[in-house]
């Protein structure tokens, strides 16, 4: 190479305590003088220069007459004399900043020209004098102006500058630098990764030390392979694929894992890498000062990590919350004004060429363009684990934290929104609090869990309520089907599609829970709000996912409020309403398991839906005899009896024409909150109140819990 590289900076030694501007003073002086002299910046001094001319004169150490105006010091002859004097001497830069830049340059195999440009841009980004003078070049620099300016400032041929700042040059593909399109000033047109200045300003023992500003080496996993038994097949596949990819140095290895926040996405990746003895690095969403990284910064860090870690064996990258980055994004060096096609092309190229295996994590995969999704080698949805696995996870977390597991844990584990991350957070807090007995432990756990669950809009735990749960007895229900015979058939065939319909509170949903318990099968409950999506095609996608999940887990699938999903197509106003119904009917037709659909509005269902159900069960209001039996059962569960008013209470029960099991549950909960508690008189008065105030048009969630 014939390049004439400028030997930058500081006279002889790097004295501890010198500012970066002092260390690089000579280099900055040379660059400023070339801008002023060779790029005609001197003509704009005093007009466009924000710093005082006198201060700049002192910084450049120009010979001046004490009586002259500082603005008059910037004349070509004087500037040329000072520049010749500086260029005639050789200076060596020593110090942390320079050493880190050179180390980074070697790690990325930068050319001397690329290294010189990077060093200049870093100093331009932080130097007041250099930055202000650079603005004198102009505010409407084109790409050609940029090449010309850098060639003059750094004294490097334009052809070599052009090669160094091409879009596919290492400075840009590594994520170190981005270029904004359109006319801009020099320091706004070329921008270095903002936190890079901080990273190269402190001592680093290794080139990878620069990455620690943005990249975290993953800590040891908190979970083990056995904790993911619900995903044993998927875990095994991921393990084998990752092992092969690492062994064969497979390029373009990309795995997408998605699921609700806290479900264990990060933990399963950490556990996988720990099993394989692989080094896992995680692209952070914030820097060491806990400041959030921008979209461009995170993508740039990803690129830089790929470049710097590509020579390391047995290394994996993790990129979390990608939905915040990829929609409408492009390569770091492209402006946001570029079209989406450029964005897609850039990202697709990354998925095909990245040298390290990458795990991409998303909370909501629906936000990702399908053009991206289909390019991942493996796409895995991580759903909430089953209650049994969740219970074991809570117990293990308690034992690690020195907290005594209580018998109530199995009840808590029934809440599917109690994620591994939430469990870990709760346990960490409980380990620091004093708790004397099991009762205080359950109260603390419930308080901490419900605080988060409530904020996220999820169902709350109810572990400390002392209200006995009502026993579910099928013989007390008013149904038109022999439920005992039905259970025997389901036990034998393990397949059936049931429609349960009737007024709210009559026991439809509770029957599905009873069924799952009696069949020793997990229950997967989906409400309409869980399925319906705001975008075209999302509902169909969620429906397919729900049926797939039920099949994988061998669960009883409960579709509550199914009328919202199977509304008559005759009344459809939009095409998506029709496709939604078509999708559900198709899934029902092909489903080989137990499906229970519940509705309060059978008349609104699509006509074709009736043919898809093997059995339609009507749940009605309690008949007087069964209502009376139900009343006595409730009193027994509370160990309460009658005084002298039994016959009067019985007569009042027989008069209630629209009484439901749900009314009993609602009333007992209310009475449990009063000083008097549940009594025969209080119960009958509460039931009468529920019947009196019932509004058939009011939509509310109602039902009753069951103890089996």
Percent of the chain residues topping a pLDDT of 70: 87
Structure tokens at 553: 């887990």
**Mean pLDDT lowest among 264-273, 436-445, 521-530:** 436-445
Buried b / exposed e across 446-480, counting CB within 10 Å, b at 16+? bebbbebbeeeebeebebeeebbebebebebbbbe
Amino acid 238: pLDDT: 95
pLDDT tens for residues 245-275? 999 999 899 999 998 888 889 999 999 999 9
The band of 469, judged by pLDDT with boundaries at 50, 70 and 90, is low
The band of 572, judged by pLDDT with boundaries at 50, 70 and 90, is low
Q: What is the mean pLDDT of residues 8-20?
A: 44
- Is the pLDDT at 303 greater than 70, yes or no? yes
pLDDT tens for residues 445-458? 889 999 998 888 88
3-state secondary structure of 63: coil
pTM listed for this prediction: 0.70
* Per-chain mean pLDDT for the chain: 82
**How are the residues of the chain apportioned to helix, strand and coil, as percentages rounded to the nearest 5?**
55, 10, 40
Cα separation, 152 vs 18, in Å, equals: 28
- Is the pLDDT at 694 greater than 50, yes or no? yes
The band of 14, judged by pLDDT with boundaries at 50, 70 and 90, is very low
E strand or H helix at 254, and its extent?
strand 254-258
Q: Can you spell out the DSSP letters for 550-596?
A: HHHHT-EEEETTGGGTSB-GGG--SHHHHHHHHHHHHHHHH--SEEE
Cα separation, 557 vs 584, in Å, equals: 13
**Mean pLDDT lowest among 2-16, 48-62, 606-620:** 2-16
Q: What is the mean pLDDT of residues 31-57?
A: 85
Q: Residue with structure tokens 């996405």?
A: 265
Amino acid 19: pLDDT: 67
- Is the pLDDT at 436 greater than 70, yes or no? no
Q: Can you spell out the DSSP letters for 151-215?
A: HHHHT--HHHHHHHTSTTSHHHHTTSEEE--SSB-HHHHEEE-TTHHHHHTS--SSGGGGGGGTE
Amino acid 575: pLDDT: 66
3-state secondary structure of 489: helix
3-state secondary structure of 546: helix
The band of 643, judged by pLDDT with boundaries at 50, 70 and 90, is low
Structure tokens at 174: 């590594």
The band of 371, judged by pLDDT with boundaries at 50, 70 and 90, is confident
Cα separation, 33 vs 40, in Å, equals: 10
Q: What is the mean pLDDT of residues 273-302?
A: 84
The band of 321, judged by pLDDT with boundaries at 50, 70 and 90, is confident
User: What is the Cα 536 distance to its own chain's centre?
Assistant: 22
Cα separation, 82 vs 521, in Å, equals: 86
In this predicted model, which residue has the larger pLDDT, 376 or 708?
A: 376
Cα separation, 7 vs 90, in Å, equals: 7
Closest CA relative to residue 565, chosen from 612, 528, 615, 599: 528
The band of 154, judged by pLDDT with boundaries at 50, 70 and 90, is very high
Amino acid 456: pLDDT: 83
Q: Is 664 exposed, middle or buried (0-12, 13-18, 19+ CB in 10 A)?
A: buried
Neighbours of 536 (CB within 10 A): 12
- Is the pLDDT at 554 greater than 80, yes or no? yes
Structure tokens at 641: 């009896």
Q: What is the mean pLDDT of residues 622-649?
A: 85
Q: What is the mean pLDDT of residues 122-133?
A: 86
Amino acid 498: pLDDT: 94
* DSSP structural state of residue 605: B
Q: What is the mean pLDDT of residues 685-692?
A: 90
Q: Residue with structure tokens 């209650």?
A: 387
pLDDT tens for residues 49-84? 777 888 888 888 887 766 777 677 788 888 999 999
Apex CA 148: angle with CA 144 and CA 150, to 5°? 115
3-state secondary structure of 389: helix
Q: Are 322 and 360 in contact (CB under 8 A)?
A: yes
Strand ordering across the sheet containing 594-599: 478-479, 615-620, 496-501, 594-599, 556-559, 523-526
Distances (CA, A) of 8 to 11, 45, 200: 9, 25, 17
E strand or H helix at 667, and its extent?
helix 661-672
Q: Are 323 and 368 in contact (CB under 8 A)?
A: yes
- Is the pLDDT at 566 greater than 50, yes or no? yes
- Is the pLDDT at 402 greater than 70, yes or no? yes
Beta strand 478-479 pairing with 615-620 = antiparallel
Percent of the chain residues topping a pLDDT of 90: 26
User: Of the spans 289-303, 460-474, 588-602, 667-681, which averages the highest pLDDT?
Assistant: 588-602
- Is the pLDDT at 163 greater than 90, yes or no? yes
Residues paired with 283 in a beta bridge: 215, 319
Q: Can you spell out the DSSP letters for 286-306?
A: B-TTSPBPPHHHHHHHHHHHH
**Mean pLDDT lowest among 13-22, 564-573, 610-619:** 13-22
Q: What is the mean pLDDT of residues 338-363?
A: 75
Q: What is the mean pLDDT of residues 543-551?
A: 87
**Mean pLDDT lowest among 318-327, 415-424, 436-445, 664-673:** 436-445
- Is the pLDDT at 7 greater than 70, yes or no? no
């Amino acid at each position: 190479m014939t390049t004439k590289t400028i030997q930058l900076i500081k006279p002889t030694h790097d004295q501890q305590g010198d500012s970066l501007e002092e260390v690089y003073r000579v280099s900055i002086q040379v660059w400023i003088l070339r801008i002023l002299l060779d790029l005609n910046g001197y003509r704009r001094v005093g007009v466009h220069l924000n710093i005082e001319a006198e201060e700049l004169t002192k910084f450049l150490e120009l010979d001046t007459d004490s009586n002259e105006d500082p603005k008059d010091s910037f004349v070509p002859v004087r500037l040329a004399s000072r520049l010749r004097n500086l260029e005639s001497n050789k200076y060596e830069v020593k110090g942390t900043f320079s050493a880190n830049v050179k180390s980074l340059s070697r790690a990325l195999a930068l050319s001397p020209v690329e290294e010189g440009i990077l060093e200049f841009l870093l100093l331009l980004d932080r130097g007041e004098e250099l930055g202000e003078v650079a603005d004198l070049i102009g505010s409407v620099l084109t790409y050609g102006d940029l090449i010309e300016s850098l060639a003059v400032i750094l004294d490097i041929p334009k052809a070599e500058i052009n090669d160094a700042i091409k879009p596919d040059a290492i400075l840009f593909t590594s994520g170190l630098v981005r270029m904004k399109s359109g006319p801009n000033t020099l320091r706004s047109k070329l921008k270095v990764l903002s936190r890079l200045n901080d990273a190269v300003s402190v001592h680093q023992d290794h080139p990878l030390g620069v990455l620690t500003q943005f990249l975290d080496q993953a800590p040891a996993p908190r979970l083990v392979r056995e904790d993911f038994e619900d995903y044993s097949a998927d875990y095994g596949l991921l393990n084998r694929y990752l092992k092969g990819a690492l062994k064969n140095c497979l390029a373009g290895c990309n795995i997408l894992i998605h699921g609700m926040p806290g479900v264990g996405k990060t933990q399963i990746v950490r556990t996988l890498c720990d099993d394989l003895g692989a080094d896992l690095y995680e692209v952070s969403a914030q820097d060491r000062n806990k400041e959030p990284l921008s979209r461009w910064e995170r993508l740039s860090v990803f690129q830089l990590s790929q470049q710097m870690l590509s020579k390391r064996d047995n290394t994996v990258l993790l990129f979390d919350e990608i939905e915040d980055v990829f929609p409408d994004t492009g390569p770091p060096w492209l402006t946001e004004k570029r079209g989406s096609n450029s964005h897609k092309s850039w990202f697709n190229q990354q998925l095909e060429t990245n040298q390290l295996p990458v795990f991409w994590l998303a909370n909501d995969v629906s936000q990702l363009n399908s053009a991206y999704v289909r390019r991942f080698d493996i796409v895995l949805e991580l759903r909430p684990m089953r209650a049994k696995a969740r219970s074991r996870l809570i117990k293990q977390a308690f034992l690690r934290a020195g907290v005594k597991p209580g018998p109530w844990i199995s009840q808590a584990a029934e809440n599917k929104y109690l994620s591994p991350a939430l469990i870990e957070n709760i346990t960490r807090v409980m380990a620091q609090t004093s708790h004397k007995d099991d009762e205080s432990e359950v109260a603390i756990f419930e308080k901490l869990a419900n605080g988060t669950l409530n904020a996220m809009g999820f169902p709350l735990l109810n572990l400390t309520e002392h209200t006995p749960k009502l026993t579910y007895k099928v013989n007390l229900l008013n149904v038109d089907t022999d439920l005992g015979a039905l259970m025997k058939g389901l036990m034998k065939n393990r397949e059936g599609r049931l429609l349960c319909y009737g007024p709210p509170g009559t026991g439809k949903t509770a029957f599905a829970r009873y069924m799952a318990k009696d069949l020793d099968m997990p229950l997967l409950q989906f409400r309409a709000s869980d399925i319906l999506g705001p975008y075209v095609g999302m509902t169909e996608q969620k429906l397919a996912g729900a049926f797939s999940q039920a099949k994988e887990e061998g669960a009883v699938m409960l579709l509550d409020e199914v009328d919202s999903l199977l509304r008559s197509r005759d009344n459809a106003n939009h095409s998506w309403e029709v496709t939604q119904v078509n999708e559900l009917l198709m899934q029902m037709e092909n489903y080989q398991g137990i499906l229970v659909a519940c509705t309060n509005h059978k008349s609104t269902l699509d006509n074709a839906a009736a043919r898809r159900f093997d059995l339609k069960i009507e749940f009605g209001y309690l008949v007087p005899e069964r209502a009376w039996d139900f009343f006595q059962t409730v009193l027994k569960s509370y160990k309460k009896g009658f005084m002298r008013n039994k016959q009067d209470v019985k007569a009042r029960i027989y008069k209630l024409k629209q009484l439901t099991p749900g009314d009993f549950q609602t009333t007992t909960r209310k009475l449990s909150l009063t000083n008097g508690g549940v009594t025969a008189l209080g119960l009958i008065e509460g039931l009468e109140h529920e019947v009196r105030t019932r509004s058939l048009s009011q939509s509310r969630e109602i039902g009753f819990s069951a103890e089996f």
